[in-house]
Amino acid sequence: MMRAVCVDVPGGPENLLLRTIPRPKPKDGEVLIKVHATALNRADLLQRRGLYPPPPGESDIIGLEVAGTVDTLGAGVKRSWRPDDRVMALLCGGGYSEYVSVPEELVMPVPSNLTLSQAAAVPEAWLTAFQLLVFVAQVKEGEVVLVHAGASGVGTAAVQLVRLFGAVPVVTAGSSEKLKIAENLGAAAGFNYKEERFSQGVQDFTGGKGANIILDCIGGANWEQNVSSLATDGRWVLYGTMGGRTVDGELLGKLLSKRGHLLCSLLRSRSLQYKAELVQAFSSRVLPYFSDQPASLKPVIDSTFNLQDIAEAHRHMEANKNTGKIVINVVSQNQET
């Protein structure tokens, strides 16, 4: 048996219930991970409210990433994992629990200088940012990349990756404190969307050329400024709709005049083969930079909660208080390796 967070009735954070359920058994080609920590994502809030169900056949327990240690190997596992190896993994679900079984293709070694709590903040946010920049937008050296929610989990990862790939990150955020954190990570400029039109800031920063790439988790509320911010032949990558799903206005005409590319991407619903290729590319191109001396990449942790305080963690994210990732320790920190 194991402890896990369940949602019997969709609704508010108070509907998150910690209970004891059967421990999963690893299927062919899977690794059973003893979870030390997981981390929150906006998708978790949607799933709790019944708006983002897991793909068919996947665990209905919330949680898209974990870090922990190898417990058991299923039949047919090809890689040389051993019990107690420190690992982190991308999930379709099941992270809010003490054990989770994962296809081996989605398991990565934890960089040597990260704790397991820090590592839990890596898989979903960093793989999402890497996917958007490399697989979808195909970022090139010297390009200007506008990152919305620049102090979020994906935002703080994206800023660092843009710099790693030789491009120039600029960000939006809702407070001077969040802008400062993004700039400390490498953002060349930051715009407070509550106090100014970020499109004007982008135009000023680029000398009127605009951003080559926009990473957009906001959607509807930003569409007009996004088109205004976009360079000719630019790529606008939509991966969320926190600011609404509808558009009222001449989006198509204005996008056409810029010869703009509107690219849309989700990660959770992708095939195992796609995710396996993504994990492999990330592991070879990015993961070593977490272990540099000094490390040139780092996950940004806003706060940590214990599993029994999961409802409070959800409230913290819903209030938009976090800068970087919210981590949930499933085991007490004095047990961590």
pTM, 2 dp: 0.94
pLDDT for 293 equals 67
Higher pLDDT residue, 335 or 155?
155
Residue 326 pairs in a beta bridge with 303
pLDDT for 95 equals 97
pLDDT of 283 over the 60 cut: yes
pLDDT for 10 equals 96
For the chain, give the percent of residues with pLDDT over 90: 87
Phi, psi of 227 (to 5 degrees): -65, -40
pLDDT for 337 equals 43
- Compute the distance between CA of residue 144 and CA of residue 146 in angstroms, rounded to an integer: 7
pLDDT of 75 over the 90 cut: yes
Using one digit for the tens of pLDDT, what is the confidence trace for 124-145?
Answer: 999 999 999 999 999 999 999 9
pLDDT of 335 over the 60 cut: no
pLDDT for 332 equals 60
Structure tokens at 124: 């979903």
pLDDT for 334 equals 45
| Closest C-alpha among 177, 178, 187 to residue 149 | 178
The mean predicted confidence, pLDDT, of the chain is: 94
Using one digit for the tens of pLDDT, what is the confidence trace for 9-33?
Answer: 999 999 999 999 999 999 999 999 9
Structure tokens at 184: 């400390």
Q: Supply the angle between the helices 272-285 and 123-130 in degrees, to the nearest 10.
A: 90
Residue 189 pairs in a beta bridge with 170
Using one digit for the tens of pLDDT, what is the confidence trace for 290-312?
Answer: 987 676 899 999 999 999 999 99
Classify residue 168 as left (phi > 0), alpha (psi -120 to 50) or beta: beta
Higher pLDDT residue, 331 or 10?
10
pLDDT for 228 equals 95
Using one digit for the tens of pLDDT, what is the confidence trace for 241-273?
Answer: 888 888 888 899 999 999 999 999 989 889 999
Residue 34 pairs in a beta bridge with 69, 99
Higher pLDDT residue, 95 or 248?
95
pLDDT of 333 over the 60 cut: no
pLDDT of 175 over the 90 cut: yes
3-state SS, the chain, equals CEEEEECCCCCCHHHCEEEEECCCCCCCCEEEEEEEEEECCHHHHHHHCCCCCCCCCCCCCCCCEEEEEEEEECCCCCCCCCCCCEEEEECCCCCCECEEEEEHHHEEECCCCCCHHHHCCCHHHHHHHHHHHHHHCCCCCCCEEEECCCCCHHHHHHHHHHHHCCCEEEEEECCHHHHHHHHHHCCCEEEECCCCCHHHHHHHHCCCCCEEEEEECCCHHHHHHHHHHEEEEEEEEECCCCCCCCCCCCHHHHHHHCCCEEEECCCCCCCHHHHHHHHHHHHHHCHHHHCCCCCCCCCCEEEEEEHHHHHHHHHHHHCCCCCCEEEEECCCHHHCC
